Amino acid sequence: MASPRLLIFHQEDMKTIRLSRWLVGIAIASTLSLACSNRLRSYTQITLAPPASTNLDLETIEKAEAVLKERLTSLGVEAAEIISEEDTSTLIVRLPAEVDAEAIADVFANTGQLSLRLQKPETEAELAENIEALQRLLVEQDTLKQTDNLAEANALQPQIDQTRAKIVELYEPSELTGDLVSDAQAVLMSGFNTWEITVWFNEEGAERFAEKTKAIAGTGRTIGIFLDNVLLSTPIVGVDYAKTGILGGQAVISGNFTAEAAKALEAQLKSGALPIELEPVDIAVVPPVEEPISSDE
């Protein structure tokens, strides 16, 4: 008999909003086999830097490199180069020109810290209100971007950030984080044209997962699934698990994910969180270097 899983879903009539398409909706290029080191080919260079006045020490750089390499591998980009510059506290990622560099940069920009948090008592109405407000803001911002009104779209970001902060305050702090995830996989939902992400916790994570689902089961309150303090979904655990919680340490994040968005989230969860926030400060296409023409020709 299969172990029970926590199925993370969204239902409009329960006022749990499908946010995933707005939060993680990016396009990732397919598997490539071109080598960046080929001098006859162009490549795209992404320069990543930490927040101002933050210096990267060697240990942090090595950890960040490992996470970025894991994310690239998960996304099927195996012919990339990562160059660290400790003196300037930057990391440079070189990708084959055919890769969607802006999409990759979006994946790198998230530290990718997953957390599962219990909703505080007597916050149901406030949570629903803030989720609805957030959805309206995200839809409005997306519409403005689609119509090239970028200044107006960017002007909405402070309101979006404030609303997200209000939502975080409605949940208890948690030690059940992505550090306890042993694996993650994006799969196509059977019979549907949408994707889901299965998450497996390690032994410690499975125990905490059972404890949290036991504590919340049958209360009508939700478990908040957050990525970098951004709410992804709000599942409710049934009363059937009130005695034991959900055993087996397996959760499924399900919603309106495209294949690209699901793969991006899988890559972030499998790689673990970055040890420091990194911001893409420059994306540049480097043209190919022509081989010199031999004088014998």
Q: Which CATH class is domain 6-119+171-286?
A: alpha beta
Q: Which two tokens stand for residue 11?
A: 């239902």
The C-alpha atoms of residue 215 and residue 177 are separated, in whole angstroms, by: 17
Q: In whole angstroms, give the CA distance from residue 69 to residue 46.
A: 14
Phi, psi of 83 (to 5 degrees): -120, 125
**Tally of CA atoms within 13 A in the half-sphere of 28 that contains its CB:** 26
pTM listed for this prediction: 0.75
Give me the phi and psi of 296, to 5 degrees please: -80, -15
- In this predicted structure, the answer to whether residue 39 has a pLDDT above a threshold of 50 is no
β-sheet bridge partners, residue 195: 188, 257
Helices and strands, counts by H and E, the chain: 8, 11
pLDDT tens string 137-185: 999 999 999 999 999 999 999 999 999 999 999 999 999 999 999 999 9
pLDDT at 11: 33
SS3 content of the chain, % helix, strand, coil (to 5): 35, 25, 40
Q: CA 113 to CA 122: how far, in whole Å?
A: 27
Residue 176 DSSP label: -
Query: Quick one: which of 211, 223, 291 has its CA closest to 41?
Result: 291
Rounded CA gap, 227 and 237, in Å?
20
What are the tens digits of pLDDT across the range 70-116? 999 888 887 888 888 666 678 899 998 888 888 888 888 889 899 99
Nearest to 82 by CA among 43, 119, 122, 110: 43
- Position 190, amino acid: S
Dist CA 187 CA 193 (whole Å): 11
Instruction: Show me where the domains of the chain are located.
Output: 6-119+171-286
